[in-house]
Structures are given as C-alpha cells and as structure tokens.
Amino acid sequence: MKYPKRFLFLCCISIITTIFYLLYGSSYSTALQSIPIPFTLLYFSDIIPFSSSSHVKRSKKFSTINLNDSQPLFQSHLYSHYPYLPIHIYTQNLTSLKNISKLILLGNGIFGDRKWGLSSIGQSSTKLMTELSCPFLSNYCEVTDNKTLFPEADAVVYHMRDDINLREARRYRQPEQRFVFALWESPTHTPNLKSYKKFFNWTMTYRFKSHIIAPYYSSNAYIHTSSDYYKFLIQENITKNLNLQFQKPIYRPSDSILDEKKLGTIAALISNPGGSSGRLMFIKHLKRYIDIKVYGRQGEACPTNVNCMKFISKNYYFFLSFENSLCRDYTTEKFFTPIKYPIVPIVLGRTNYSYFIPSSGFIDTNDYTNLSSLAQYIKEIRQDKEKYLSFFSWKENYVWGISGFLTPLCDLCLRLHLDSKPNVIDDISAWWNDDACTRPRKFKRL
C-alpha cells in the first residue's frame, strides 16, 4: 500500500507544476520581452552596398520574438558626412533586409490631414518610396492610412499635435507592434503627455536621441556626392527613370554676387511675434551696434512674386537663423533653408549646430558674451573677402534637391526590418519635457 501512495503523490506534484507553468509561464515571458534595452551609439563610416530583390513578401502576422534567437542586426551609427547624425538610410547595412514588407500605419492625421501630405498613399510602393526619397526601399515597406489594417501593422505612427483615439489603440494593439511618438514642435508648444505612460515604443522627432531622427533637415537635405546614399539614388534614377534633379550650390560666391549685396549687412525673416527665445528683443538690442533689416509679418514685406529667402540672400551678407524656442536640438527651417544660398547664417538656439555643418560655416551667438563683440566680429568678416568666402567652402562636394519632410519614414522602415529588440518608453512626458528648454540669457551690451 505504501508504493501506490508515493506514486499518487508524485503524479499530483507533476500535475500542479504543469498547471502552474501554463498559468504563469506565458506572462513571465511577456514581461521579460517588455524590458527596455538601450541602443548603442557608435561611429560608423563604411556602408555595404545594397543588392535589390524583386521577390518581397508581406511579413507573417506577429510571430513571437525569441529573445535567445534574435540577432543584433541594428546598431545606431553616425553618418560619416554632414549631418553627423544617425540617419538610418545613410548608415545602415541594407543587405541585412529580409524579403518581407513591413506595414506602417498612420495612426492619426498631421494637422488634420489623414494622408500626412503624401500624394502616393495607396499607390505602388515604388511611387511612395520615391516620394519619401528612398526608392531603393521599394517593396520593403508600405505606408497606409487605412485603419482596417490596424491589427496587421508593424508600426503605428501618432502625430502628437493631433487627437489620438486611445480606445481604438488599446482595442486593436498587437504585442509586437511599435507605437511611434512623432513630433516636430518644441516642448513649449506640445500638449500634455502624462496620459501616455508605457504607451509608446519608439520616438520619431528632431531630437538627436530619438529612435528615428526626424530633423527639419529632411525638408532641405544636402547629400555628400561620395556617400553611398547618393550613389544609391543615382543608380535608382537611371534604372527606374525617376527624373531626380540634383542642385549644386554656390560654394564660392563670385565678385558679381558679392557686388549685389547692397541693401545691408544682416537680414531676418520673422512672422511669428511669440516665442520664448526672446529673438525680437535680441534683434532690438543688436541693432544698436549693426544694421539689421527684418522681413515678414514682424517687419517689411518682401517684394511680390519673388522667393523671399532668395531675395534676402542676394542683397544681404548675413541671415539671422533665430529659433522661437530654446529647446534641446530644436533646429528648424530657419537654419536649413538659408544654408543653400550664398548667405552666412547667424544662429540662436539650443543645439550643437556643428552636427549639421562645420563650425566654419556659421556664426553662433552663444560664442559671444556681449552684443558689441558679436557685432564687431560680423563687421570684420564683411570687410574681409576671403574670410567671408571661407564660410561657404564646406558646400563644395554637396548637392541639394532630394528632400522630403517625411523622409524619416524611410528610417522607420529600415528599423522595423533590423531592430527586433523590445522597448517600452516608461514616461514619454518626462523624456520630452524634463530639462528640455531654457530661457534666453541676458547679453551684456558692452
């Protein structure tokens, strides 16, 4: 009788252990996968050329990530040319892409536009990726605004200045989907984010530490002619007859160009009277030491039927690239638009501008303790022809003409292919707002 009792006891223990595993083993695995894993920032210069494939399949629906088998395919690298940023389409090894297509859903609109200004939504992948300035990713990603595809999407992108349907998101969200926080405004013009704890997986903003870097640079992109990205575009332009147009800037303005600069030394183009940077007050005080002309709604109107920036660059030596907010990495078209033209930008912002162009290509107001020394330096440059021309020399091997505000969606496409590491952003409000902005410093007049 003793043997059967022991046997029954062992059987009960086995059954209880099995039930315990079935009840709690799955949740433990899920919890383990939700642990945030930081990304490493490395310098990188060589890119392995891309080999295209026409046999691309849609990915299977949400296969569970095996942490033991996942490969470290993705690491964030700095581009070896300006801008020195980890822009994925410039730096990643494209041969690592698998023959599957990732689906990106635009979860809400951008300022009310459900298609985010993309005219190729719903058309072929080639047209869409060409519009986004990455035709070599044709068939590797699709972008849609069709909400019925929510459960199938690999990523759902939300623009934080538009309303988000949280009930819809929680109802249809899948475990392996990436919810992407997208924002181009500074924290001073951002809605309350405290209700989005543990909601997002990735960030897509102008911040240098975003998962997907989406700077205003994308709208006025300049590309080094020795870069692999440029070579990819040239190849695609030929093979797919895309009619891409590249523009070579003036990297050494001629005497005739300099002779036309007769209206003054400095110009600014400002329409918004608000902003926490105090730029209008800065200009008011700087005017005591040097001539400045303000155009836009806060000044004089540009001549009709002309490009205002082109007009300013033709008639002035320097342009005030002053941001309306002094927030971390916040750099807008105020900086990126004028660098295409033969005019020197003078910057006011809270960013390291030397990530975008060489420090020899701009004047940073933060380098001066008082306005008189800043004005004196500007006057010296204007009077020294060779020194003035040196501000443009960095442009010699760069071209303009390939740009799109939403080109960062190409980076999102690549990261979906290469990065399978789980990540949950605990407090997006703290990440975005804490120590993000500063008040303008007070300049000494003398």
pLDDT tens string 383-405? 999 999 999 999 999 999 988 99
As a whole number, mean pLDDT of residues 259-273 equals: 94
Please indicate, yes or no, whether residues 341 and 202 belong to a single structural domain of this protein: no
In a domain, 22, yes or no: no
Please indicate, yes or no, whether residues 329 and 376 belong to a single structural domain of this protein: yes
pLDDT tens for each residue of 315-350: 999 999 999 999 999 999 999 999 999 999 999 999
Instruction: Report d(CA 332, CA 318) in Å as an integer.
Output: 17
In a domain, 11, yes or no: no
Distance of CA 335 to the CA centre of its chain: 15
- 23 Cβ neighbours under 8 A, 6+ residues apart: none
Please indicate, yes or no, whether residues 319 and 379 belong to a single structural domain of this protein: yes
Does the pLDDT value for residue 37 go beyond 60? no
As a whole number, mean pLDDT of residues 172-195 equals: 96
In a domain, 443, yes or no: no
Please indicate, yes or no, whether residues 222 and 295 belong to a single structural domain of this protein: no
Please indicate, yes or no, whether residues 75 and 215 belong to a single structural domain of this protein: yes
Q: Can you give the CATH number for the domain in which 342 is found?
A: 3.40.50.11660
Please indicate, yes or no, whether residues 383 and 423 belong to a single structural domain of this protein: no
In a domain, 52, yes or no: yes
Please indicate, yes or no, whether residues 223 and 268 belong to a single structural domain of this protein: no
As a whole number, mean pLDDT of residues 77-81 equals: 93
Instruction: Report d(CA 56, CA 1) in Å as an integer.
Output: 66
Please indicate, yes or no, whether residues 269 and 331 belong to a single structural domain of this protein: yes
Please indicate, yes or no, whether residues 221 and 282 belong to a single structural domain of this protein: no
Query: Binning pLDDT at 50, 70 and 90, where does residue 157 land?
Result: very high
Confidence (pLDDT) at 444: 60
In a domain, 13, yes or no: no
Answer for the pair 325, 186: CB distance below 8 angstroms, yes or no: yes
Please indicate, yes or no, whether residues 230 and 317 belong to a single structural domain of this protein: no
As a whole number, mean pLDDT of residues 247-273 equals: 94
In a domain, 30, yes or no: no
Confidence (pLDDT) at 442: 77
Does the pLDDT value for residue 172 go beyond 90? yes
Please indicate, yes or no, whether residues 159 and 275 belong to a single structural domain of this protein: no
As a whole number, mean pLDDT of residues 269-295 equals: 93
In a domain, 290, yes or no: yes
Query: Binning pLDDT at 50, 70 and 90, where does residue 212 land?
Result: very high
Domain encompassing residue 363: 255-400
Does the pLDDT value for residue 1 go beyond 60? no
Does the pLDDT value for residue 29 go beyond 70? no
In a domain, 439, yes or no: no
| Of 16 and 3, more confident | 16
For the stretch 341-380, what's the b/e string if a residue is b when 16 or more beta carbons lie within 10 angstroms of its beta carbon?
bbbbbbbbbbbebebbbeeebbbbbeebeebbebbeebee
Confidence (pLDDT) at 7: 53
Please indicate, yes or no, whether residues 288 and 390 belong to a single structural domain of this protein: yes
Does the pLDDT value for residue 6 go beyond 90? no
Q: Is the pTM of this model over 0.75?
A: yes
How many domains in the chain?
2
